[in-house]
Amino acid sequence: MSKYSFEFKLKVVKEYMGEEGLERKSSKTFYSGEFKLRVLQYRQYHNCSYRKEKDTLNLTKSEKEELIELREENEFLRASLAYEKKLKALIQERESKTKKRRK
């Protein structure tokens, strides 16, 4: 149960921002996964700067920002994968040592 009723929240929003405060604004451009992958592969293959990549792919500023976010996400996912592989290797090593001690 929420702390404030819907009616109260609606009243506050209308008083503070007016009716347009309730409208959803979507200025973010969405791209397919295929496009995002092609962009990342292009940059990796050509080893180019953000500016050159933007000019080549005719990206707007918001698209460039999204591209930067994708790169950061990609870097995070790679690090997560490396961490999981290392953790799995350590667990297997510990299990093999435990099995040897039992024998």
- pLDDT tens digits, residue range 41-74? 777 777 777 667 667 666 666 777 888 888 888 8
Q: How far apart are CA 89 and CA 50, in angstroms?
A: 36
Q: How far apart are CA 47 and CA 42, in angstroms?
A: 8
User: Percent of the chain beyond pLDDT 70?
Assistant: 76
pLDDT of 86: 92
**pLDDT, greater one: 28 or 73:** 73
Whether the per-residue pLDDT at 20 is higher than 70: the answer is no
Please provide the average confidence, as pLDDT, over all residues in the chain. 79
Q: What beta strand segments (E) does the chain contain?
A: none
36-44 CB contacts, 8 Å cutoff, 24+ apart? 36/70, 39/67, 39/70, 40/70, 40/71, 40/74, 43/71
pTM: 0.39
